[in-house]
Amino acid sequence: DREGSITIVGAVSPPGGDFTDPVTSATLSIVQVFWGLDKKLAQRKHFPSINWNISFSKYIRTLEPYFEQNFDPEYGALQQRMREVLQMEDDLQEIVQLVGHF
C-alpha cells in the first residue's frame, strides 16, 4: 500500500463578487475551502489579504479530532474563540470608521 496526499486549488473571481454564480458554486463544492480576499485589507497593504471572517473550510470538523489529539485537546474551543475575537475586531473597526478615530 502507498500513502500520500493531494491538494486541490480552485481560483475563481466571480463577477461582482456574486458567490452564487454557478462556476463559483461548483468550484466550492469540489475544493470545500474558501479563502475570501478582502480589498480593504489589500489597500492597507495587509498581505495576504485573506478575510478570516468570510473564509471557511468544510474539513474543520473532520480534522478536529486529529488536531485535538496531536496539538491541543482544546483545539475546537480555541478555534471558536479565535473566530469570535476576529469578528469582534471587525465589528470594532466598523464602529471606529463610523465614529471616527482620534
Rounded CA gap, 84 and 44, in Å?
22
Pairing of strands 33-37, 50-57: antiparallel
Q: What is the per-residue pLDDT for 102?
A: 57
| SS3 category, 75 | helix
End-to-end CA distance of the chain: 63
Q: pTM to 2 decimals?
A: 0.72
Residue 81, pLDDT score:
97
| Residues of the chain below pLDDT 70 | 101-102
- Whether the CB-CB separation of 10 and 31 falls below 8 Å is answered with yes
